Structures are given as structure tokens and as C-alpha cells.
């Protein structure tokens, strides 16, 4: 496993090591370097990051709270394998929250923010034009970052935290249920939303956002093919 990327703790400063591990695992999960269903043993995680089980456990507990990891008592922690129903709930939540985020962002967005968005969208476009699984992972991540940036502009830390969780879960869902062929449809819509925001047209931006979310969800294949948990093992190994 090469989960730990090129992480040397010194980079992030002496701050919470468990948070650093959480972020690394989080990135690995939403990048799909860690497949849903993968077991994350405390000892293994601890060994990978060269810490004790205590801090590894703390990181896993945080991820469990975010819904990216599922822990079963006396059995361990596993990368979440959201059911189609959970997937629908994720998108229902986003449909509810994101229009409000757009409205909030509209009132506080600055030219400097817009420039930031433009750079972000360029990045996104670059990944879109590349091929290969690495590029696709980067694309999913970049697409999520657009929504997170929007949430940060809106200035509500609570909503931002909610969006953090929703975007992360979405990445999992897309990786699991996405029909890979048509997945790169989001970029133009991001641009359009940003344009509407720049023109101060909040109504249009909200509408575009809802359609955008609809499109993402429509691109999924959410037929319920799984009963309980035996499929986990089936799909992962």
C-alpha cells in the first residue's frame, strides 16, 4: 500500500497527528486509492504512519463520524460502501443545501474569489482532457473542490462542514456507481454557475446548481443490486 503518499509529518507542523492521518486517509478514500470495503486495521494504519494504535484509532473515529468509514464493534474499520439508498440521501441533501450555499455565496463573493474560481476551473479542465484512472480521480476531486470553494465563500462554517462531508461521500458514491463513460460532464456546468454568480443572478445560479446535481445523480447507476454486506467482499476482492 502506498496510502501515505509523500507525507512527512514535518510538513504539516507539529499539530494533531491524528488529523494529519485523517486527511491522508480521507484523500486516499475520495481519490479511490482505497476501495470501498477495504479494511483499515488500527495496527496497519498505525504502522503506515508510524504512530501507535491510539492515534490511528482517533483518525479512524473521525472518519467514522464523517461517514467515510464504517466501524463494526470488535471487527474493525472499513472504507464505507454506501448503498444506493444512502447515495440517494446524499444527493437529496445536496439538492437541499447547495442552492442555499449559492445564495449565500452570491452576497459575499469578491472579485478575488472569482479569480480563484477561474484558476480552479482551469485546473479542472486540464484533468478532464487527460486519460487514465489517475486523471479521472483527480477530476472527481477537482469537481468536488469547486463545490467546497463555493461553500467556503458563503461564510457559514457549519454549512461548510456539512458540504465537506457531503462532497466526500459523493466522491465515494460516484466512484462506486458512476457510469464511467459520461462522467466528465460537470465542468461546463461549473463554469455556467460561476458566470451566473458573477452576473449577480442568484436565481439562475441556484437553478443551474440543482440541474447540475441532478445530472450528477442521473449519471449514476443506482439499481439496488446488493442485499446486505456479503457483496462488499464480492466487489472489493
Partner DNA sequence: AGTCGCAAGATCGCATACAATTTGAACTCG
Partner DNA sequence: CGAGTTCAAATTGTATGCGATCTTGCGACT
Site residues for DNA per CB under 7 A: 14, 16-18, 39, 41-43, 51-55, 57-58, 71, 73-77
β-sheet bridge partners, residue 79:
69
Nearer Cβ to a copy of itself, position 28 or 101? 101
Residues 6+ apart with CB under 8 A from 232: 36, 37, 78, 81
Q: How far is CA 220 from CA 167, 204, 227, in A?
A: 15, 25, 19
Nearer Cβ to DNA, position 38 or 143? 38
Using rule CB under 8 A, residue 229 touches a copy of itself = no
Nearer Cβ to DNA, position 123 or 232? 232
**Chain residues 125-154 in contact with a copy of itself, contact rule CB under 8 A:** none
Using rule CB under 8 A, residue 4 touches a copy of itself = no
- Binding mask of the shown chain, residues 39 to 68, with x at each position contacting a copy of itself by CB under 8 A: ---------------x---x--xx--x-x-
Contact present, 34 and 28 (Cβ < 8 Å): yes
Nearer Cβ to DNA, position 51 or 172? 51
Which of DNA, a copy of itself, none binds 191 (CB below 5-8 Å, type-dependent)? none
Residues 6+ apart with CB under 8 A from 134: none
- Binding mask of the shown chain, residues 70 to 109, with x at each position contacting a copy of itself by CB under 8 A: ---x------------x--xx-xx--xx--x---x-----
Q: How far is the CB of 9 from DNA (least distance, A)?
A: 9
Nearer Cβ to a copy of itself, position 67 or 135? 67
Contact present, 163 and 147 (Cβ < 8 Å): yes
β-sheet bridge partners, residue 85:
none
The Cβ of residue 32 has, within 10 Å, a number of other Cβ atoms equal to 19
Q: How far is the CB of 52 from DNA (least distance, A)?
A: 3
Q: Cα separation of 149 and 160, whole Å?
A: 9
Q: How far is the CB of 187 from a copy of itself (least distance, A)?
A: 26
Contact present, 93 and 227 (Cβ < 8 Å): no
End-to-end Cα, the chain, rounded Å: 15
Here the cell at position 39 is: 479494511
- The SS3 assignment for 70 reads strand
Here the cell at position 202 is: 442568484
Nearer Cβ to a copy of itself, position 96 or 218? 96
Interface residue list for a copy of itself (CB under 8 A): 15-16, 54, 58, 61-62, 65, 67, 73, 86, 89-90, 92-93, 96-97, 100, 104, 156-159, 162, 165-166, 169
Amino acid at each position: 500500500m502506498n496510502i501515505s503518499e509523500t507525507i512527512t509529518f514535518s510538513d504539516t507542523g507539529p499539530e494533531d497527528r491524528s488529523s494529519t492521518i485523517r486527511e491522508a486517509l480521507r484523500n486516499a478514500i475520495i481519490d479511490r486509492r482505497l476501495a470501498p470495503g477495504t479494511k483499515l486495521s488500527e495496527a496497519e494504519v498505525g504502522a503506515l504512519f508510524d504512530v501507535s494504535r491510539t492515534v490511528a484509532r482517533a483518525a479512524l473515529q473521525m472518519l467514522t463520524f464523517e461517514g467515510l468509514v464504517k466501524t463494526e464493534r470488535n471487527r474493525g474499520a472499513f472504507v464505507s460502501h454506501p448503498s444506493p439508498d444512502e447515495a440517494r440521501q446524499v444527493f437529496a441533501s445536496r439538492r437541499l443545501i447547495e442552492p442555499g450555499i449559492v445564495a449565500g455565496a452570491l452576497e459575499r463573493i469578491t472579485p478575488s474569489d472569482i479569480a480563484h474560481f477561474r484558476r480552479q476551473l482551469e485546473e479542472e479542465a486540464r484533468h478532464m482532457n487527460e486519460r487514465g484512472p489517475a486523471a479521472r480521480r483527480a477530476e472527481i476531486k477537482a469537481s468536488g473542490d469547486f463545490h467546497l470553494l463555493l461553500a467556503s465563500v458563503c461564510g457559514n462554517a457549519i454549512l461548510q462542514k456539512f458540504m465537506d462531508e457531503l462532497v466526500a461521500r459523493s466522491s465515494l458514491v460516484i466512484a462506486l456507481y458512476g457510469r464511467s463513460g459520461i462522467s466528465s460532464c460537470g465542468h461546463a456546468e461549473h463554469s455556467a454557475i460561476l458566470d451566473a454568480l458573477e452576473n449577480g443572478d442568484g436565481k439562475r445560479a441556484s437553478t443551474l446548481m440543482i440541474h447540475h446535481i441532478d445530472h450528477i445523480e442521473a449519471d449514476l447507476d443506482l439499481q439496488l443490486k446488493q442485499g446486505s454486506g456479503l457483496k462488499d467482499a464480492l466487489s472489493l476482492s
